[in-house]
Amino acid sequence: MTTGLGALAQVAVTFRDLPRAVAYYQDVIQLPLQFETGGMAFFAMGDVRLMMTTPEQDEHDHPASILYFKVANIDLAHADLASRGVEFDEPPHMIGTMGATEIWMAFFRDCEQHLLAITEERAA
């Protein structure tokens, strides 16, 4: 018998200025804040939690992996985020195709320069 891995449950990202990061993700990106406790904040990203914390050791003080947020309409999401002060590297553009599906993305950075993206999968 093997133990199979399940769906991703949580992603941890470190921030040097946690209150500023919480405000950015709550007010600008508008992720739902679930709770804060013991120097950590937890946000809902669909079925996955985002755990924010300060780096406890030097080895954890580095940029995070890229977080890709699914959106239903990338053009509307891009305009909405831009209206709240998000500065994108470039406008939404097609990255590639998977069969009959086009993959569209637009990249931006948060208040501590972590790279984030919005992505839409649409019919080709």
**Secondary structure of the chain: what % helix, strand, coil (to 5)?**
20, 40, 40
**Bridging pattern class, strands 33-37 and 40-45:** antiparallel
Across the chain, what does the average pLDDT equal? Answer: 91
Tens digit of each residue's pLDDT (9 = 90 or more) over 78-97:
999 999 999 999 999 999 99
- The whole-model pTM stands at 0.84
For residue 2, the model assigns a pLDDT of: 65
- Quick check: helix, strand or coil at residue 27? helix
Does pLDDT of 1 surpass 60? no
Using only the alpha carbons of the chain, give its radius of gyration: 16
Residue 68 and residue 119 in contact, taking contact as beta carbons nearer than 8 Å: yes
- The rounded distance, in Å, linking the Cα atoms of 91 and 105 is 8
Nearest residue to 50 via CA among 15, 74, 85, 79: 15
Tens digit of each residue's pLDDT (9 = 90 or more) over 23-78:
999 999 999 999 999 999 999 999 999 999 998 777 767 777 889 999 999 999 99
**Bridging pattern class, strands 115-123 and 67-70:** parallel
By the 10 Å C-beta count (0-12 exposed, 13-18 middle, 19+ buried), 69 is classed as middle
Q: Which residues pair with 121 in a beta bridge?
A: 103
**Confidence band, pLDDT 50/70/90 cuts, at residue 6:** confident
